[in-house]
Amino acid sequence: MTAQSTTHAMKDRPIAVFDSGVGGISVLKHIHALLPFEQLLYVADSKYAPYGNKTPAEIQARCFEIADFLIAKDAKVIVVACNTATAAAIDAMRAKYTLPNHIPIIGMEPAVKPAAEASKNGIIGVLATTGTLKSAQFAGLLESYGRNVKVVTQACVGLVECIERGEIAAENTLRLVEQYCRPLLDAGADTIVLGCTHYPFARALIEQVVGSDVTLIDTGAAVAKHLQQRLLALDLLSDNNQLTQVQFWTNSEANDAKQVISQLWGQSAEISIL
């Protein structure tokens, strides 16, 4: 193989994305829109969802198993499309994969900084999982960007499970959204961070509850942009100019697992059971 073809082969390897379940598909959509010619792999670790109530050690073990699978599929980069997993495992993943194997690991965190900048009245709300809100990484975010604003946090127990079942417009999902948004509205938040990748799928319900005066902030587009910049800097953007189908894997035991992925992805997809 010539040096030239080695380079092409490197660039044309897939971008791998994973989450505790189907939530990261909200990030995958932004990646696909920005980088339509990149080959994309997605793993939904739905059998082990939610991560939000697991220990960091349990989450790290899941992340390692999935990353090993994705690296065996020749991933050139891994996107942890999960705030909870990023908080629990990003350092361990970088130590295990980036340093020895040169696989960049892109993580994500609740958009406290953009929310603090966007807020007009200085009161922001953060909807996230218990794990994210309890993490040292989130404490660091508040320390860095939350000093000049009031930050009201709310763990949304049970909401991830609704999205995992594809219940994005259901009455029970709406009731949970009302329960979790109420304290943020009562505190006067004018900006709310969707600090879990499952929540953008409940965006219509959240908008219905909080109204149009409250700004909702989702990090999916920023993650896609950051990924593009990292690949550009590493000269790893694909030279391909043909659309490819995304490959999904799920370990969900639900009968309708494939249907839920198709519903949330909204395009044709190749879905396998892990």
Verify whether residue 181 is a known catalytic residue: no
Q: Which tokens go with 42?
A: 């997605």
Give dist(CA 195, CA 76) in Å, integer: 26
Smallest distance from ligand DGL to CB 54, Å: 8
Bridge-partner residues for 154, per DSSP?
A: 127
Give dist(CA 141, CA 261) in Å, integer: 32
The residue (of 39 and 197) whose beta carbon lies closer to ligand DGL is: 197
In this structure, are residues 181 and 213 in contact, taking their beta carbons and an 8 Å threshold?
Answer: no
Smallest distance from ligand DGL to CB 9, Å: 32
In this structure, are residues 27 and 223 in contact, taking their beta carbons and an 8 Å threshold?
Answer: yes
Verify whether residue 63 is a known catalytic residue: no
Q: Which tokens go with 66?
A: 């999935």
Give dist(CA 158, CA 193) in Å, integer: 18
What is the SS3 assignment for 34?
Answer: helix
Smallest distance from ligand DGL to CB 98, Å: 21
Among residues 63, 162, 181, 196, the one annotated as catalytic is: 196
Among residues 82, 156, 162, 181, the one annotated as catalytic is: 82
Residues that bind ligand DGL (CB under 6 A): 19-21, 23, 49-52, 82-84, 129, 132, 160, 196-198
Smallest distance from ligand DGL to CB 233, Å: 25
The residue (of 23 and 146) whose beta carbon lies closer to ligand DGL is: 23
In this structure, are residues 156 and 166 in contact, taking their beta carbons and an 8 Å threshold?
Answer: no
The residue (of 129 and 252) whose beta carbon lies closer to ligand DGL is: 129
The residue (of 19 and 190) whose beta carbon lies closer to ligand DGL is: 19
List, by residue number, the catalytic residues.
82, 196
